[in-house]
Amino acid sequence: MKQERMLLLLSPFATSSLFLSLSKSLLRPYRHLLSTMSGLNFQPHAFAGNPMRAKTPKPSDPFSPNSALETLKSHLLGTTYHTISPDFKVLPFRKGRPLAGSESSNSHSSPKWHLGWLSFADCTDLFADSEVKLVEEKLVFLGSRPEENSVYWAIDVSEDEKLVDELGKKELSFVELRTLMVATDWADPRAMGELAIAGHARALLEWHGLARFCGHCGCKTVPMEAGRRMQCTDELCKKRIYPRVDPVVIMLVIDRENDRALLSRQSRFVPRMWSCLAGFIEPGESLEEAVRRETWEETGIEVGEVVYHSSQPWPVGPSSMPCQLMVGFFAYAKSLEINVDKDELEDAQWHSREDVKKALSFAEYEKAQRTAAAKVEQICKGVKQNQNLSSDFNTESGELAHMFVPGPFAIAHHLISTWAFRGAVSGSETRLKYPSSSFSNL
């Protein structure tokens, strides 16, 4: 058990080649454990593993959304003046970007970004003369940490331009979530937790923006349950609206006979980057059917067996989709001839295991992450303008490689590296080897 726990702590991506290369000496005693976990992903991906998500407290608990909202209301109305308990921590967002700061612990390590949580007192000062009003409807409950006596909220402050300068004086800046994703040290559980919280908050706030009117009768909606759902204000309608998640299948198509994997390029990719196929699930379709249909439509390849790998929340897609859920599969090809749909893809090709291994080994994911972390620090200190660094990251990742795949923040990386370094197992083999508990995600 102890060994397993250590693996969980040390290996945000137990399936990644990077992880293996970074932690070889540290994990040498556990290599046998890694090898027996072939094909299974025990670790949360980027944006999963939110530390506030453990469980929802009972309504009477002071940390429950409703209790927290009642306490907040009494403070907003000014009916209580003593210190707030539990502590309120508020994360402002501007145009989908969370507030963040950055610190260098010493000159040898790369800077570490952190979320820019504000206290209730900070908020009342900051919003006193602001166009943003600190009112119940604006605040969205994110979760609580009873061990720290804290409840956490998010607020959208996009309408007030002046706040950017005010917060800049405290070396806090609104940074693109994709940029933070790239700058996150995936071996650091704290940083991965903060990224997951920011992703959850962004998805909820973006959804609030999209759900302001009832789709049934067109009347205005209001937030309920501390912003965790919306409800139509029309007395006859009262439709309840819940946060939206858009599922996407993402699959590594495998040619078992010739030991090859199918990788594809979209025209928007940076040069030399190849990845998995992906596509939206249609209404009335199973996940497996979506894998087979998308693969057929985009490449003309027929898929037989489809095996689940893991899933990843993806709150950094287009704002019309506040949170996609990437559901990852290995898909075993029944036919091998490629016929690319040029409207969907630039190219798709079979790649040998050796070529895919090279693509992973020559990519410099750790260096690119450190570069991004340094850029986030410059943004927070006001030295550099805010920018989206994910394309930079991918370019830097692939500096030395003739081809490369997306970095460890993306589920595609883990599908590809799992196959390349340990081989995907088929569903029937996996079920025989790993009964019941290994498949909690199914």
The residue among 234 and 305 lying less far from Zn ion, judged by its C-beta, is: 234
Cα gap 220→133, rounded to integer Å:
19
Contact assessment for residue 97 and residue 174, using Cβ atoms and an 8 Å cutoff: yes
Minimum distance, C-beta of residue 213 to Zn ion, in the bound complex (Å): 8
The residue among 6 and 237 lying less far from Zn ion, judged by its C-beta, is: 237
Minimum distance, C-beta of residue 137 to Zn ion, in the bound complex (Å): 17
Q: Which amino acid is at 296?
A: W
Minimum distance, C-beta of residue 210 to Zn ion, in the bound complex (Å): 15
Minimum distance, C-beta of residue 225 to Zn ion, in the bound complex (Å): 18
Cα gap 136→94, rounded to integer Å:
18
The residue among 52 and 219 lying less far from Zn ion, judged by its C-beta, is: 219
Q: Tell me the residue ranges of DSSP E strands in 175-323.
A: 221-224, 229-232, 240-241, 246-255, 260-265, 277-280, 303-314
Minimum distance, C-beta of residue 232 to Zn ion, in the bound complex (Å): 3
Among 302, 309, 311, which residue's Cα sits nearest to residue 332?
A: 302
Give CA angle at 241 (137, 86), nearest 5°. Answer: 40
Cα gap 272→181, rounded to integer Å:
21
Minimum distance, C-beta of residue 230 to Zn ion, in the bound complex (Å): 10
Cα gap 419→355, rounded to integer Å:
12
Contact assessment for residue 167 and residue 116, using Cβ atoms and an 8 Å cutoff: yes
φ/ψ (deg, to 5) at 233? -85, -10
Minimum distance, C-beta of residue 223 to Zn ion, in the bound complex (Å): 15
Q: Tell me the residue ranges of DSSP E strands in 164-299.
A: 173-174, 221-224, 229-232, 240-241, 246-255, 260-265, 277-280
Q: Residues in the site for Zn ion, rule: CB under 5 A? A: 214, 216-217, 219, 232, 234, 237, 239
Minimum distance, C-beta of residue 237 to Zn ion, in the bound complex (Å): 3
Strand, coil or helix: 54 = coil
Please list the alpha-helical segments (H only) found in 77-187: 120-126, 162-168, 177-183
